[in-house]
Amino acid sequence: MHNQGGREGHSAQLRVDSKRPRVLVTGAERPIAHAVVRAVAREDLDIHMVPASSRNSVGTLLGICRAIEADLLVPTVPAELADIARARHQFESQGTRVLLGSARSIALCAETSAEIARARKSTPQRRKPEDPNRRPRRTEEYAVDLLIDRLGMVAAAVPYIADRHRDEDRSGPVWWRRIRDPWVIASATKVADSFDLDFAAHVRLREDAFGLLQLIHIAPGFSETLAMTVASGVNVPLLAIRSALDLDSELDATHAPSFALGRRATLPPRASGFMNKATKKAVEPASVTNGSDSASSKNAG
């Protein structure tokens, strides 16, 4: 490994004189980048890393990829995704593929998450009248790491639940615990199917007091729970990189996990109109049994 200062088209060809595909990973000072490198450590790849910096414009990354003759660029810094996606053809014209979805899907994810955040901030929280004979329902927050195959379908999903002892105002660190929950998996998958995502994505959902799931965030690429996802047996970076490089990978829709359809995924009132136009899909309700796993992780909120 060395340090340096989409599925869409796949027009860039691997260099015939390179026995080991050369991969450049951005965000070298971030845990996510190191999780990616550890995940592919046993693969026969020539890994280079570059730190995140305001100086790392698209032009800078193009220059680094050209200098090291990179076969694949793996962006891990959220702030750089949109610019890199818009410059995809510039990277591919010099022989570098990009592990990233289309500029349109990235923009849609960003706009959707921002719209939902604004709606949640401006919409007052209404409490359902409490039944004195029933215990109050606790809302839960979920995170789901997704692996997307070459057909744009979810091939694997690893769900997490936020620790119940998280601060009520949702501030401070978050502990994530891995679970086995077909309801959460199916709901996150239905949402992801509407955004034309590639390779990898991350969805966050929140169960409200009425037992409905609300989408609160969706983003392309890898998340802070990546290391846990790899440890669970779903090596998202390795499979995504092999798929991007057209290596011998078994990643396809036939390896998708089986799960029941989840309950209806809903949105805050102010965001629902926007999302209906964006997704044009509904999640059919179903009843499933929840399960849990013991893995956990502490991450920034």
pLDDT of residue 43: 93
What is the structure's pLDDT at 169?
52
For the chain, 301 residues long, the average pLDDT of each consecutive 10-residue run is 51 56 95 96 94 78 96 94 95 96 93 89 57 63 93 92 64 80 92 90 90 91 94 94 79 38 33 33 30 44 36
Q: With CA atoms as reference, report the closest residue to 76 among 58, 52, 55, 59.
A: 52
| Amino acid, res. 223 | S
The whole-number pLDDT of residue 273 equals 30
Return the number of other C-beta atoms located less than 10 Å from residue 261's C-beta. 17
Question: Residues 37-60, buried b or exposed e (16+ Cβ, 10 A)?
Answer: bebbeebebbbbbbbbeeebeeee
Nearest to 265 by CA among 299, 223, 218, 219: 218
Count of C-beta atoms within a 10 Å radius of residue 274: 15
Instruction: Give the separation between CA 106 and CA 145, rounded to whole angstroms.
Output: 16
The domains of the chain are located at: 2-98, 103-124+136-299
128, HSE (Cβ side, Cα atoms, 13 Å): 12
Give the model's pLDDT for residue 285: 30
Q: Residue 222 CB: number of other CB atoms within 10 A? A: 30
Superfamily classification of domain 103-124+136-299? ATP-grasp fold, B domain (3.30.470.20)
Please tell me the pTM assigned to this model.
Answer: 0.74
Phi, psi of 175 (to 5 degrees): -100, 125
Residue 145 belongs to what H/E stretch?
strand 140-148
Pick the CATH number of 2-98 from 3.30.70.360, 3.50.50.60, 1.10.760.10, 3.40.50.20: 3.40.50.20
Q: What is the pLDDT of residue 60?
A: 92
* Rounded Cα gap, residues 114 and 242, in angstroms: 32
Q: Look at residue 277 in the predicted model and tell me its pLDDT.
A: 33
